[in-house]
Chain A
Amino acid sequence: MDDDLRLARAASEAALTTEGVYALGTGRYAEAATYGPGEKVSGVVVSPDEVRVHVIVRYPPAEPLPALAERVRERVARSAGGRAAMVIVEDVEVTRDANL
């Protein structure tokens, strides 16, 4: 359980520090989070064979969405402890400096 939380925190940090990622999503039908005693990491779901990260990207994205998602996936995979990394672009967020 602690290991899952540690992985979730690392994956969350890796995703959030990727340029183009605005925030982590919380899931659509069920809350995407990893739970531990007295703590939860939103936006990351750690399962025995996979680490899934839900991201909200800035709009307009500086690069095509698949490239951005792949970059996030690579960063998350490095901290996933050998588990498969999966990235879901959950939403796009228009930021103040978007000049639309």
Chain B
Amino acid sequence: MRIFNKIVVVLLLAALTGLGLSLLVYAFNVEPYRLQDLPRAVGLDSFYENLRGYVGALEQGALDALEVATLVLITLLGLVLLVLEFKPPTPRKVRMQQGTYVTRGVVENEANMAVEQEHEVLQSNVNIQAQRKPGAKVDIRASVRPGEDTQSIQSGLRDRVQQHMSQTGIPVSNLKVQVAESDPRETKTRVK
């Protein structure tokens, strides 16, 4: 959502800058740039004309199915964006108890430590998300050599991470472990 807002603001500011520069050039009324020609130069005339035609058609109810669908789509998009805007942001810190938190970095380090103990894992990627409720959402993606028993590694890895986290006391509300076969030449380590 923040990225979307940023893109919109950047585009708006770019348009305003462009308009401001044009205004500056046209304000001096030096041939061939005259101020009265500015609306035509930036295409405002045709825009107003199209808008007037569209609103006229809208008032008369003379819209085709595609235009109605577009309007519905824009309304729905606006509604979704409005709901997203009101949605509180995801917390940055993982809540342990009332008034005590741990940073995602600490949780990531602990999860990584548990994953790295598994000898079959050549490379891992740990993603931590804090939640509004206590506990972290831990997403682990591990790479193993082709031909390994991924099912047993996955369950072993899950047990190991759960055990390590419970030892350190970091609450995990959701643990997702994915194990995929990878070419050892493309992983961080080839042999353990």
Give A residues with C-beta under 8 Å from B. 28-29, 61, 63-67, 69-70, 72-73, 84-92
Contacts and interface: CB of A to CB of B under 8 A. Distances in A.
Interface in B125-139: none
B106 A90 contact: yes
Given A61-B168, A67-B169, A73 B103 contact: no
Contacts, number: 59
Interface string B149-185: 0000000000000000001111100000000000000
A28 B106 CA distance: 12
Contacts of B93: 88
B117 interface: no
B97 A66 contact: yes
Interface residues of B, number: 17
Given A88-B93, A89-B106, A66 B171 contact: yes
Contacts of A73: 99-100
Nearest to B97: A66
B170 A65 contact: yes
A90 B103 contact: yes
A65 B168 CA distance: 6
B114 interface: no
Residue among B96, B97, B105, B109 with the highest chain A CB neighbour number at 10 A: B96
16 contacts: A29-B92, A65-B96, A65-B168, A65-B170, A69-B96, A70-B97, A70-B100, A73-B99, A85-B99, A86-B101, A87-B100, A89-B101, A89-B103, A90-B103, A90-B106, A92-B106
A65 B169 contact: yes
A88 B169 contact: no
Contacts of B99: 70, 73, 84-87
A94 to B, nearest CB: 11
Q: Which 5 A-B pairs rank lowest in CB-CB distance, beginning with the nearest? A: A64-B169, A69-B100, A66-B96, A89-B102, A88-B101
